[in-house]
Structure 1
Amino acid sequence: MEWDIAYNTTQDELIISEYGRTVQVLLRKANAIEDDAERQAYVERVIKLMLQMEPGIKTQENYQERLWKHAFIIAGEPLNVTVPEGISLEEEKEEQIEALPYPELGNRMKHYGQNVQMLIKKAAELEEGPERDHATYIAAYYMKIALTSWASGQFVNEEMIRKDLYELSGKKLVLGPEVKIAVPGPNQPEQHPTGRKKKKKKKNNRPNNQNNQGGGNRSKNRRNKNRRR
């Protein structure tokens, strides 16, 4: 005995699976109906069935228009019916968003961070003079902060900072050996936070001496009263 079973894998692929295969089969038979009025009523009943299958679609704006659009998509061809007034089947053109340019930074010396490298780039664009000298020093100072917070400051070396500054600026910024780079203060935010949390101090659970003393005074007063009596 052979079983005539239609497996889903042998049938047409579901266009919108939320409505199920029955809705898809019904809509693809709609254009075969010859009478215009009968075909119109048939499609409208199928759309009501689609709403029953997906009642949550009512929460969306213009859900009727969405149902009609889905019906035409599922049918696989234009349905020969009259679309209700106020419903447009034209697809809205999506605005193409221009992709943001990804910062093109070299892979060298990542430990200084992107902000420091941008600062060096801006300083190198300045004309020679006091303003550029000041920007050069500021860049070197923040490079020292980055090295201090990176690997717990084990690799801080001012000569290395001067060399790296010269290389990163395209050999434009030179910090003279006579210029001493200041040591970052304790309140300076880290460039590479470690994420470690400070341990909470344990509360002192010692008994309150004042309360004990107060209790002792009250007991003494009671004894004195008893003696007077």
Structure 2
Amino acid sequence: MKYNLFELRMEKDYNTQKTPLILKEYGRNVQKLVEYIATLSSKEERTRYAHTLISLMKQLNPSVREHNDNAQRIWDHLFLMSDFNLDIDSPYPIPERSILHKKPKSMTYRVGEVTYKHYGRNIEILITKAAKITEPEEKQQAMSFIFKLMKSFYASWNKETVDDITIANQLRELSKGQLSIDLQAMRSEAHSHGERGDREHHKDRNRNNNNNNSRKKNKDRKRK
């Protein structure tokens, strides 16, 4: 039998002529398997095939496979593709049809203006938490960290050198007087750390030089 080109085109199976997919991420073959499982007469057989299909769906959706706490979601997808008509023994309850039209909860946002926009709200949150710390040494470490962070943010925004007193005053202002950093103590600590680092650097350099000299002497002895 001969067909002309027009007739051959008309016989092709186009996706637009097929039933729309419920969940496109799984593809049409998975949709067909779900429909086939629903036609099986034995509940035990439907359940066995459903578990096998769930394993396949996990392979097609790695994000669910990697997070065990989302295992129920893939079973919900299975029931959704069956139009909630799949009678099987599932490890999770069949979801309500109303979830299709359920709107997500609206997120709450913090209200109020940020005092210094170049620092952002997260700095204010850190300051609030630091003000609640009761252990003196831990509180001092938190203030020092926030101070350095504020200084880097200020420099990125202003592109100019800022003095430590300005940052310390703004830290005190944002904490409502609860955080008062000792600039002299912080500088002394930074200076002592720097000197300690220099000493360690010189020790390492001398140690390396001694090792190199020893290796050189050994090579000279072998040559003689």
TM-score (norm 1): 0.40
Query: Which structure features the higher share of helix residues?
Result: 2
Q: Could you say which structure has the greater relative contact order, defined with CA pairs below 8 angstroms and 6 or more residues apart?
A: 1
TM-score (norm 2): 0.41
- Asked which structure has the greater CA Rg, the reply is 1
